[in-house]
């Protein structure tokens, strides 16, 4: 029969092939297994609610679309690619030209061709009106990651001979209809098509259907699971069962709604000490989650150290049980905060019940570009099964499969072998990652539907939401609008959230209008801590739980921006011992202060922390900070006690988030007020003795010295580097709201009271009312005008690739990601699409020793230092992995395009040719910065010096 001659897959090396009918059957079977065993209930319900036959219709629709997705391969434009197989089709009566005679065949990619064939079949054989067809057939058209545009459709209509050879139209049409008729019969949809004709599929449902077809296609296209052979048998159950067993996809989480009291729930999940009480904000979060009519968005605002993360996870458990979410994604600002969160998530998962008896393994993923270097995630990768070979047919290289040393059987939590890589990792049930992974869901890009499927079945937790500028917030708001459309439960966390931003988040998710009175109340609410809850399409509810009783009175005062005066003041404050934290806004200021303080106090009493350390060194820095200045019980466990002598940590913004560290004294550069308050959260963070009696007598009162400002100017003026990092307007507003406390004219004198003053200071600094002395007003207004212009520019720039909001039900996804960015990756270049940053270089830092050999830097911990790397061959896996962990991002001096190009040219000239081999999975394509035996080099006109104590220093070459 002609239909059985149509081919779908071909292996040029083995000369094996797979008939189209077989691949259609395989894909249909896989999609059914996915629907029954892998798709979260939250996604299944969303699709089912749009169809007249509910869940039964939804399953039939998914299976049918998977079965028909490759019908476009039954066209001359596709079939001509393999002459031997094409000739067999010609012998069966399907005439076609040679491939070289079809120069225009690229106008008929098989996805678009399939969309048009399915549309014609619905119209001609089932009487569908044309407008009703496109919302279904666009799923077929978009199954390779980009739904066709109107121009794509128009061009193929003009070149109809690509669908059916002229003069042989009837034979081609007969085969196409036969395959589609068989698929409709096998999938049980023939009798449902008449009812579906009246359906208007919401765009979110079209997106999810597309994503499910993509996943089914990728699995069914894997020759290790579904071998190629042209056999005549129907798709037997044994073939599908063997493939599914080999894939072994973990089922989604089936959450059990906790019924215990909040304090019992927190004790069970988070190892609270015996007799410890949960915080009021945690108790209220559980109550609000239980009282909401349906899961939606919850914004939790509470001070630093109040247990917001634990509250969010408890809420996620309740929301998941009620919504059918099959997992959870926690989004954080940086890789460092993601790495810090990952083990906390794993501990929570270890205690998390699942309503299915013997639920088996849960898939877990760490979603950032250096996840494979994370110890906890690497261990999970080792517990996964050995990966299968073929991954997807679109050329998406799954480097994770090569980077894992996977030999043991599945464990309770695993990094599943198939759910890895930049396109599939987020499909794991549980994930921690940078905010970029969430923002990518608002970026027009290839395979965007997969990113939507990845979040549509989860509860999403967004931490530190105040940390995102206008550019990133544009993407976040758009993603929230889609999450609301999907009915995805979301928990947003912040210690320092401006009221207007709170309202914007709620409106974006719930689809509120600016004039809605209910949303106006979200902005005027002044409680703190504060909880805001809203379900999609509903009015918000607010709750201000009582304070926990924890509080710190921080004395604030000015300090001249002079390193000599800084040293004098620290010497005076620390003469009885103690630990001080000095936070600078730029790495150059960190280095300047550290150098001067070392001269005064000695090298062993100064620690430096910033982002310009190798990945391995930075991880060690964080571990040392926690062991030395962390919670008392952790310090005792890891080190025994805090330093006996005075010690000073000089750091950049890396200490603002994720590190639970505690100091006796704080000196900070002026920053936006929310960040100043975050830094104050590292001051007297823990109780050390009764009434802080374990601290030196002079430092038992928390004190913050604010510097980085010319206090003698007619209007105090922040140092230049701070303007570069934060812009002038937020700095001046911070000065204005802190000025009464610095002058002692505030109601509390020189005291900033935490947490009582957090929200008032933030709301005043980010509000629209005038602030500061009258003589400052003109300067501040100019700064505001400049800042607003910058925000407009950011918003306009973000619009270039920003996904549209979901359209009306029934409107097809034609051109959904048109004019997008193509593929997007979790790299610096990819992040530049969702963050307003200039692309910089990441390099691996190695040393050329005096004898000419190449080695890792000598001091690296855990026996990783001073290891020689071969230059004539690919290093072994362990050595290559260590070298790959020596990554460092070059600073802003190299962000200028001309300087960037020069640096790339110089680094490429030093590349090790043997490391570019295909099997060098860790090192191929990486840029290597080679230091001399004194750890120095010159790059693009700058002198670079790297030390274990100070990280990378950069100076313009003389």
With 60 as the cut, is the pLDDT of residue 288 above it? yes
Query: Band of the pLDDT at 809, cuts 50, 70, 90?
Result: very high
Average pLDDT rounded to a whole number, residues 18-47: 96
Please tell me the distance from the alpha carbon of residue 442 to that of residue 440, in angstroms, as a whole number: 5
- Sign (positive or negative) of CA dihedral 727, 730, 733, 734: negative
List C-alpha distances in Å: 563 to 139, 502, 559, 560, 581: 63, 39, 10, 9, 14
pLDDT confidence of residue 47: 98
Report residue 870 as tokens.
């071969």
284 sits in which H/E element:
helix 280-291
Exposed, middle or buried: residue 16 (CB in 10 Å: 0-12, 13-18, 19+)? middle
Residue 636 has a pLDDT of 72
pLDDT on residue 236: 76
Q: What is the pLDDT of residue 580?
A: 98
Which residue's structure tokens are 């020596």? 886
In this prediction, residue 748 carries a pLDDT of: 94
pLDDT above 70 for 390: no
DSSP 3-state of 804: coil
| Rounded average pLDDT over 19-48 | 96
Measured between alpha carbons, how far is 74 from 94 in angstroms, rounded to an integer?
A: 10
Give the DSSP letter string of 22-64: HHHHHHHHHHHHHHHHTS-HHHHHHHHTTSTTHHHHHHHHHHH
- Is the distance from CB of 806 to CB of 485 less than 8 angstroms? yes
Question: Which domains does the chain carry?
Answer: 2-247 (1.10.3210.30), 262-356+425-543 (3.40.50.300), 555-753+770-782 (3.40.50.300), 838-956 (no CATH)
CA distance to 432, 434, 670, 796, per residue, from 344 (Å): 10, 15, 32, 38
pLDDT of residue 673: 97
Q: Which of 67-71, 277-281, 380-384 has the highest mean pLDDT?
A: 67-71
Q: What is the DSSP string of 449-511?
A: HHHHHHHHTSEEEE--GGG--HHHHHHHHHHHHHHHHHT--EEEEESS--HHHHHHHHHHHHT
Residue 412 has pLDDT above 70, yes or no: no
Give the position of tokens 């980009």: 146
Q: Are the C-beta atoms of 321 and 257 separated by less than 8 Å?
A: yes
For residue 632, the model assigns a pLDDT of: 86
pLDDT at residue 147 is higher than 70: yes
Of all residues in the chain, what percent carry a pLDDT higher than 70? 92
554: its two tokens? 């921080």
Say if residue 126 is exposed, middle or buried (CB neighbours under 10 Å; 0-12, 13-18, 19+).
middle
| Structure confidence at residue 403 (pLDDT) | 34
Nearest CA among 69, 75, 65, 64 for reference residue 6:
75
Integer Cα distance of 57 and 279 in angstroms: 46
CB atoms near residue 639 (< 10 Å): 15
Closest CA to 831 of 371, 372, 472, 340: 472
Q: Report the alpha-carbon distance of residue 108 to residue 96 in Å, rounded.
A: 14
C-alpha span between 609 and 878 (Å, rounded): 28
CA atoms within 13 A on the CB side of 497: 33
What counts of helices (H) and strands (E) characterise the chain?
35, 28
Q: What is the pLDDT of residues 748-778, one digit of tens each?
A: 999 999 999 999 999 999 998 999 999 999 9
For residue 331, list its beta bridge partners.
Answer: 433, 462
Q: Which two tokens stand for residue 598?
A: 């070392």
Query: Using 50, 70 and 90 to split pLDDT, how confident is the model at 566?
Result: very high
pLDDT of residue 235: 56
Please state, rounded to an integer, the average pLDDT across all residues of the chain.
90
DSSP per residue, 556-590: EEE--S-HHHHHHHHHHHTTT--EEEEE-SSHHHH
Give the tens place of pLDDT for each residue, 520-536: 899 999 899 999 999 87
SS3 of 871-923: CCCCCCHHHHHHHHCCEEECCHHHCCHHHHHHHHHHHHHCCCHHHHCCCCCCC
Closest of 207, 192, 213, 208 to residue 140, by C-alpha: 213
pLDDT (average), residues 149-159:
94
Mean pLDDT, range 347-354, rounded to an integer: 88
Residue 397 has pLDDT above 50, yes or no: no
Higher pLDDT: 268 or 832? It is 268
Distances (CA, A) of 468 to 476, 515, 641, 735: 9, 25, 37, 21
CB–CB of 925/841 below 8 Å? no
Q: Which residues pair with 647 in a beta bridge?
A: 579
3-state class (DSSP) for residue 604: helix
Q: What pLDDT is recorded for position 574?
A: 97
- How many C-beta neighbours within 10 Å does residue 497 have? 26
Report which DSSP code applies to 10.
E
Residue with structure tokens 């979410």?
Answer: 325
Q: What is the mean pLDDT of residues 68-75?
A: 97
Q: Is the pLDDT of residue 830 over 70?
A: no
pLDDT top residue among 591 and 373: 591
Distance CA 143, CA 215 (A): 9
Confidence at residue 232, expressed as pLDDT on a 0 to 100 scale: 52
Averaged pLDDT for residues 794-823: 89
**What is the pLDDT, as a whole number, of residue 496?**
93
Closest CA to 174 of 51, 8, 4, 38: 4
Greater confidence (416 vs 830) lies with 416
Residue 356 has pLDDT above 70, yes or no: no
Is 101's pLDDT higher than 80? yes
**Helices of type H across 93-163:** 110-126, 130-141, 150-158
Confidence of residue 402 (pLDDT cuts 50, 70, 90): very low
Distance CA 457, CA 39 (A): 8
pLDDT of residue 679: 95
Counting residues of the chain whose pLDDT is more than 90, the rounded percentage is: 73
Tokens (6 digits) for 65: 């679309």
- Here the tokens at position 451 are 């990113």
End-to-end CA distance of the chain: 79
CA distance 558 to 566: 11
β-pair type (530-534, 541-543): antiparallel
pLDDT in tens, 195-233: 999 999 999 999 999 999 999 999 999 998 999 876 555
Residue 66, burial from CB neighbour count under 10 angstroms (0-12, 13-18, 19+): buried
Mean pLDDT, rounded, for 687-710: 94
- Residue 840's pLDDT band (cuts 50, 70, 90): confident
pLDDT per residue as tens digits for the range 416-472: 666 766 678 899 999 999 999 999 999 999 999 999 999 999 999 999 888 788 899
Check whether 294 has a pLDDT greater than 80.
yes
Judged on CB neighbours under 10 Å (0-12, 13-18, 19+), 833 is: buried
| pLDDT tens sequence across 591-649 | 999 999 999 999 999 999 999 999 999 989 998 998 999 888 878 776 667 888 999 99
């Amino acid at each position: 029969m002609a239909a059985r001659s149509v081919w779908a897959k071909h292996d040029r090396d083995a000369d094996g092939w797979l008939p189209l009918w077989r691949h259609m059957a395989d894909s249909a079977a896989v999609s059914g297994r996915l629907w029954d065993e892998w798709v979260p209930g939250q996604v299944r319900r969303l699709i089912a609610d749009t169809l007249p036959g509910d869940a039964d219709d939804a399953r039939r629709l998914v299976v049918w679309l998977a079965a028909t997705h490759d019908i476009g391969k039954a066209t001359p434009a596709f079939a001509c690619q393999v002459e031997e197989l094409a000739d067999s089709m010609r012998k069966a009566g399907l005439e076609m030209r040679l491939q070289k005679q079809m120069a225009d065949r690229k106008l008929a990619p098989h996805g678009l061709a399939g969309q048009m064939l399915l549309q014609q079949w619905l119209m001609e054989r089932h009487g569908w009106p044309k407008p009703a067809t496109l919302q279904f057939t666009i799923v077929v058209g978009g199954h390779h990651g980009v739904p066709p545009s109107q121009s794509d459709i128009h061009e193929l209509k003009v070149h109809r001979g690509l669908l059916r050879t002229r003069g042989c139209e009837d034979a081609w049409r007969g085969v196409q209809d036969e395959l589609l008729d068989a698929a409709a019969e096998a999938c049980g949809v023939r009798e449902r098509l008449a009812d579906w004709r009246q359906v208007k599929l919401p765009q979110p449902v079209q997106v999810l259907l597309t994503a499910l077809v993509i996943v089914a296609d990728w699995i069914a296209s894997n020759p290790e699971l579904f071998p190629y052979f042209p056999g005549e048998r129907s798709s037997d159950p044994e073939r599908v069962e063997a493939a599914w067993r080999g894939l072994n996809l973990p089922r989604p989480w089936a959450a059990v709604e906790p019924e215990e009291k909040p304090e019992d729930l927190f004790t069970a999940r988070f190892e609270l000490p015996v007799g410890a009480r949960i915080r009021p904000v945690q108790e209220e979060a559980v109550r609000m989650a239980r009282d909401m009519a349906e899961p939606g968005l919850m914004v939790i605002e509470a001070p630093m150290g109040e247990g917001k993360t634990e509250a969010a996870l408890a809420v996620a458990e309740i929301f998941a049980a009620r919504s059918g979410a099959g997992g959870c994604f926690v989004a954080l600002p940086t890789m460092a905060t993601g790495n810090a969160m990952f083990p906390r998530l794993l501990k929570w998962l270890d205690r998390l019940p699942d309503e299915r008896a013997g639920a088996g393994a849960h898939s877990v993923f760490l979603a950032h570009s250096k996840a494979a270097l994370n110890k906890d995630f690497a261990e999970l990768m080792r517990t996964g099964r050995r990966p299968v070979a073929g991954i997807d047919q679109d050329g998406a290289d799954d480097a994770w499969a090569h980077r894992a040393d996977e030999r043991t059987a599945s464990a309770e939590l695993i990094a599943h072998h198939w759910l890895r890589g930049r396109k599939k990792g987020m499909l794991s049930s549980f994930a921690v990652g940078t905010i970029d992974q969430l923002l990518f869901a608002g970026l027009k890009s290839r395979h965007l539907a997969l990113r939507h499927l990845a979040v549509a079945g989860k509860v999403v937790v967004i931490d530190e939401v105040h940390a995102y500028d206008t550019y990133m917030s544009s993407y976040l708001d758009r993603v929230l609008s889609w999450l609301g459309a999907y009915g995805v439960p979301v928990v947003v966390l912040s210690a320092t959230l401006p009221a207007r931003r709170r309202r914007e988040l709620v409106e974006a998710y719930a689809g509120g209008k600016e004039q809605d009175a209910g949303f106006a109340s979200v902005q005027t609410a002044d409680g703190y801590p504060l909880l805001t809850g809203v379900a999609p399409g509903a009015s918000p509810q607010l709750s201000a739980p009582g304070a926990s009783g924890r509080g710190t009175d921080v004395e604030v005062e000015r300090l001249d921006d002079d390193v000599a005066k800084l040293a004098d003041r620290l010497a005076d404050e620390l003469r009885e011992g103690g630990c001080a934290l000095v936070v600078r806004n730029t790495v150059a200021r960190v280095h300047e202060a550290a150098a001067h303080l070392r001269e005064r106090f000695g090298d062993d009493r100064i620690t430096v922390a910033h982002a310009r350390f190798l990945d391995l060194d930075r991880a060690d820095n964080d571990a040392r900070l926690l062991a030395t200045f962390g919670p008392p019980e952790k310090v005792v466990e890891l080190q025994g006690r805090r330093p006996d002598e005075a010690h000073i940590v000089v750091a950049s913004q890396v200490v603002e988030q994720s590190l639970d560290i505690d100091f006796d004294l704080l000196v900070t550069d002026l920053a936006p007020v929310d960040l100043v308050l975050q830094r104050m959260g590292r001051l007297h963070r823990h109780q050390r003795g009764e009434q802080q009696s374990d601290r030196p007598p002079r430092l038992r009162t928390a004190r913050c010295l604010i510097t980085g400002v010319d206090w003698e100017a007619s209007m105090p003026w922040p140092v230049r580097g701070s303007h570069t990092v934060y812009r002038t307007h937020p700095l001046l507003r911070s000065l204005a709201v802190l000025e009464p406390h610095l002058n002692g004219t505030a109601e509390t004198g020189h005291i900033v009271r935490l947490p009582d003053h957090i929200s008032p200071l933030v709301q005043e600094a980010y509000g629209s009312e005038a602030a500061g002395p009258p003589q400052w007003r003109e300067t501040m207004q100019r700064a505001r005008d400049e800042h607003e212009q910058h925000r407009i520019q950011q918003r306009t720039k973000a619009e270039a690739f920003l996904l549209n909001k979901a359209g009306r039900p029934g409107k097809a996804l034609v051109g959904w990601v048109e004019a997008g960015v193509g593929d997007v990756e979790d790299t610096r270049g990819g992040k530049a699409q969702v963050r307003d940053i200039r692309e910089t270089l990441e390099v691996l830092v190695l040393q050329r020793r005096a004898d000419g050999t190449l080695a890792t830097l000598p001091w690296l911990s855990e026996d990783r230092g001073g290891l020689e790397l071969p230059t004539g061959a690919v290093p072994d896996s362990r050595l290559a992995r260590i070298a790959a962990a020596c990554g460092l991002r070059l600073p802003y001096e190299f962000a200028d395009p001309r300087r960037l190009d020069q640096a790339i040219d110089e680094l490429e000239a030093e590349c090790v040719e043997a490391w570019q081999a295909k099997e060098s999975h860790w090192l191929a394509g990486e840029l290597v910065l080679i230091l001399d035996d004194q750890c120095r080099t010159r790059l693009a006109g700058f002198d670079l010096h790297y030390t274990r104590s100070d990280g990378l220093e950069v100076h313009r070459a003389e």
